[in-house]
Structure 1
Amino acid sequence: MLLNDISKEQIVNAHKDRFKQYGYSPKSLFWDKNRQNIRFDVLTSNYDFSNKKILDIGCGFGDLNNILSLKADRYIYMGIDIVEDFIAYAQDKFKNEENISFKLGDFLSEKFIANYDYIIASGTFNYKLKNMDNYDYIEAIINKSFNTCNSGIAFDFLSDKVDYKYDFNFYYSPEKILSIAYKYSKNIVLRNDYMPFEFSLFINKDDSFKKEYPIFNEYRHSHSIYKKEMY
């Protein structure tokens, strides 16, 4: 499944209009309440990105790097977005950063030769698609991301557990998103502890464990209390 032309045109035009109005601002990304860094902090909370390769889907201005640069050393970042104005601005903003690059394009349409350690998306799935099912689209994104990355993915969503809704946004059922995620891994984290109406999903590729010791190997190796096999 690819993002259809109607939905793509809708998203691009909406962001172009916002960019003309607000310029370099979270408002151009339809984040009007100045909480972007909270989302980035949460999405980067579950992994160590030092010396890792990161792909940011729907990267906007590449502002995820404002948080990554505080948390990780020597990471390599690629941002991809379908909005040309955002990519042009981001390329100019980070032109002196050799580890940061950007690409104009649609993630599902592009071929990625290099494997990335982690794939992140923030605010990318907030729009109610036209003539497409949002859940089918999300599953296509998760499927390609899972096959493209080495270690894990981190996406955020608007929750359907809300007090109000905007017509142009799509609000996801955390239960449905979890049911999709479990098709790919048992090692999953869903966080709904930072904002009441949004949640983040982490899917880890390594869900291996020993049958006689049912704790994920990745967790056991990264937590000193479990490095020895204890029952």
Structure 2
Amino acid sequence: MSNYNQLKNFYRKRYSHSDRSYRAVGWASKQKQHQRFKALIKNFDKKLLKKERIVDFGCGLADLLPWLQKKGLAAGYTGVDIMEEFLQENRKRFPEFEFINSESFFNNSQKYGFIVASGVFTLSWGRNHRKQVKDMIKRLYNTSYHGFSFNMISSFYPKTKKNYYYFNPFEIGEFCKSITKKLIIDCSYLSEDFTVTLFKNS
């Protein structure tokens, strides 16, 4: 990301005026948040999910972690975010798990079993947002051993929020086919969302 001051300001304001719930990271309800979580992992091999490390890229307040724990899928978890406030709080709440900033994440050459990103591509990253997003999709896919899953707001949904980015599922699907032919696009769980799951050959 070339410039995320706008992102930080958005989340810092939310965080300072919220009850530290899903609202702090911009979600409308916990139910929808959980629907998104389910869509992110449902197409991955559950046996592998139980033993491989899962990276929550753009983890926010790590709401995904307790959701994974309830399903017995958090044997290995790493949360990544640009907000140091979020990371500090997560380290206090979940001291047994790893939380690092995005710079540290990309500065190491490590690969991870699975990577998921929920809501990461919704707000602007600055100039050339769409190009940056596509570059990031490639980068995160290449950093995983087994697969990468992410969600976006669909351009088929009414554009009610001017600061949000809406993506055409067909356009994103065609782009992702240039990365791998093994993918699933899921538009079934929420009218405003779609989730793309990219698989590795391993």
8 Å Cα contact 1:80/1:106 also seen in 2: no
1:110 to partner: Cα distance? 2.3
CA separation of 1:163/1:53 partners in 2, compared to 1, >3 Å: closer, same or farther? same
1:33 to partner: Cα distance? 3.0
Q: Relative contact order (C-alpha < 8 Å, sep 6+): which is higher?
A: 2
8 Å Cα contact 2:154/2:193 also seen in 1: yes
CA distance in 2, matches of 1:39, 1:178: 18
TM-score by length of 2: 0.91
More helix by share: 2
**What secondary structure sits across from 2:167 in the alignment?**
coil
Structure 2 equivalent of residue 142 of structure 1? 137
Structure 1 unaligned segments of length 5 or more: list them. Answer: 207-217, 219-231
CA distance in 2, matches of 1:112, 1:71: 29
Q: CA RMSD in A?
A: 1.7
CA distance in 1, matches of 2:175, 2:135: 10
Determine whether 1:116 maps to 2:112.
Answer: yes
TM-score by length of 1: 0.80
The 4+ residue runs of structure 1 with deviation greater than 6 A are: none
Structure 2 equivalent of residue 4 of structure 1? 2
The residue type equivalent to 1:36 in the other structure is Q
Greater C-alpha Rg: 1
Structure 2 equivalent of residue 222 of structure 1? none
**What secondary structure sits across from 2:17 in the alignment?**
helix
1:180 to partner: Cα distance? 1.4
The residue type equivalent to 2:132 in the other structure is Y
8 Å Cα contact 2:61/2:90 also seen in 1: yes
Determine whether 1:19 maps to 2:15.
Answer: yes
8 Å Cα contact 2:159/2:166 also seen in 1: no
Count of aligned positions: 198
**What secondary structure sits across from 1:189 in the alignment?**
strand
The residue type equivalent to 2:37 in the other structure is F
Structure 2 equivalent of residue 89 of structure 1? 89
**What secondary structure sits across from 2:23 in the alignment?**
helix
Structure 1 equivalent of residue 59 of structure 2? 59
Structure 2 unaligned segments of length 5 or more: list them. Answer: none
CA separation of 1:74/1:23 partners in 2, compared to 1, >3 Å: closer, same or farther? closer
Structure 2 equivalent of residue 186 of structure 1? 181
